[in-house]
Structure 1
Amino acid sequence: MMRTFCVLIACALLTAFYPKETSLEIGAPIPGADVKLQDISGREISLNGARGSNGLLVMFSGNHCPYILRNQARTVAICGYALQHQVGVILVNSNTTLHNGEESLAAMKTYAAAQQYNWFYVMDKKAVIAAAFDAAHTPECYLFDKNGRLAYKGAIDDSPGNAGAVKTQHLQNAINEMLAGKPVKVNTTAALGCNIKRF
């Protein structure tokens, strides 16, 4: 009995010192919407500044994660699709522990040029945006509607590790349903990928 009591006290103390972050709920407004982030162009941009007339796609990304590499073509395709439909696009690199190396602004610029990005790719220097979103993986996607409300969160599709096995285009379906003014049927999926290196 005493042992059980001690375990419960220890758990309570751990919870007090390490509170659980809450996940961003569907319908929530854009977190950290006005925080200025450095883009690879050299200018600063906020999430609100990146919004299009029909909404905003925020994707946590990077340069070297194997899942990012497996999703290169899919990332370019879905970001281009969003822009074509006036949904702003911003990719966020929150890998703070690697910002002086392979995830540096210079490395991001080189990677973006190779991938022919024509959207924002920003450095989240202190992982403020990752913390605000409670984002944990790369790639991990958040789609906001024209009113800045979360319509979808999760993966690009149902097979992050293997492009050849994709059956459902979750993010594209969400964009289409959102633009049609319909509720997104599948509004939350599991984002599989590399852990964001922010600690």
Structure 2
Amino acid sequence: MKKFKIAFLLLAAGLITAFNTIKPAGYEIGSIATDFSLKNVDNKMVSLKDYKEAKGFIVIFTCNHCPYAVAYEDRIIDLDKKYKKLGYPVIAINPNNPEKQKDDSFDKMKVRAKEKGFTFPYLFDDGQKIYPQYGATKTPHVYVLQKTDKGNVVKYIGAIDDNHSDETAVEQKYVQNAVDALLKNQDVKVKTTKAIGCSIKA
């Protein structure tokens, strides 16, 4: 009987461990990202398919209120200015539920985009249907996609760079390095990093 209890406990522990190590839902490197149609701050609907000439996309889940997201706004604008003309535009998406975070309402998104002079679409994930597909958990959380015959392939997931608080101290520009590699038809060396930011408000 004692051996049976020990065996049972070991089995239970194994099941708990297995359950806790199940990968969260969302895209992985190599996944094909499905398209979406979300409202931009100019009240127009935006989809990836609208960008006929794009070679890929820098999809960034971000928001108004999070200090991490705010700290990255200028860098996000710089990424768009640099890479949009090279075929990799920034597509920013606010994934937060405005009922949980009032500062992330659609009307306040419009105000923020105008204040900062966003050069990219700033889309509202109405109903919070898109960010779970991607597996985003933070703001900001980045997905670099490469357009192929098979669809938009996920090539990088994670942080923008390695220092959210001080741009002058950045040593690794993860998104920039990933896009530069793709533009040269090279493999992305650092494919995933840990996204640092505020938890998405569901």
Both structures adopt the same fold (TM-score exceeding 0.5): yes
Query: Is 2:33 aligned against 1:26?
Result: no
What's the CA shift for 1:49?
A: 2.7
Larger Rg belongs to? 2
RMSD between superposed Cα atoms in Å? 2.4
CA–CA separation in structure 2 for the residues paired with 1:85 and 1:150: 18
Normalising by structure 1, what TM-score?
A: 0.85
Question: Which is worse superposed, 158-167 or 38-47?
Answer: 158-167
Matches within 5 A, 1:9-158: 11=16, 21-31=24-34, 33=35, 35-50=36-51, 52-98=53-99, 101-147=102-148, 148-158=152-162
The number of equivalent residue pairs is: 191
Q: Structure 1 pair 143/6, CA: closer, same or farther in 2 (3 Å)?
A: closer
Question: Which is worse superposed, 66-75 or 179-188?
Answer: 66-75
Q: After superposition, what is the alpha-carbon deviation per residue over 1:3-23, rounded to whole angstroms, capped at 9, x for unaligned?
A: 8389669959xx6xxx86334
Q: Structure 1 pair 5/184, CA: closer, same or farther in 2 (3 Å)?
A: closer
SS at match of 2:143: strand
CA–CA separation in structure 1 for the residues paired with 2:157 and 2:130: 15
Query: Is 2:32 aligned against 1:4?
Result: no
Q: After superposition, what is the alpha-carbon deviation per residue over 1:91-147, rounded to whole angstroms, capped at 9, x for unaligned?
A: 011101447721111100110111111211111011111110010001111111121
- Extract unaligned runs of 5+ from structure 2: none
Match of 2:192 among 188, 195, 198: 188
Q: 2:173 aligns to what?
A: 169
Q: Structure 1 pair 132/28, CA: closer, same or farther in 2 (3 Å)?
A: same
What's the CA shift for 1:88?
A: 2.7
Q: Structure 1 pair 161/38, CA: closer, same or farther in 2 (3 Å)?
A: same
Q: Structure 1 pair 100/187, CA: closer, same or farther in 2 (3 Å)?
A: closer
Amino acid across the alignment from 1:190: K
Query: Is 2:164 aligned against 1:160?
Result: yes
What's the CA shift for 1:84?
A: 2.3
SS at match of 1:149: strand
Amino acid across the alignment from 2:37: K
Amino acid across the alignment from 1:167: E
* Identity fraction in percent: 28
Q: Structure 1 pair 52/116, CA: closer, same or farther in 2 (3 Å)?
A: farther
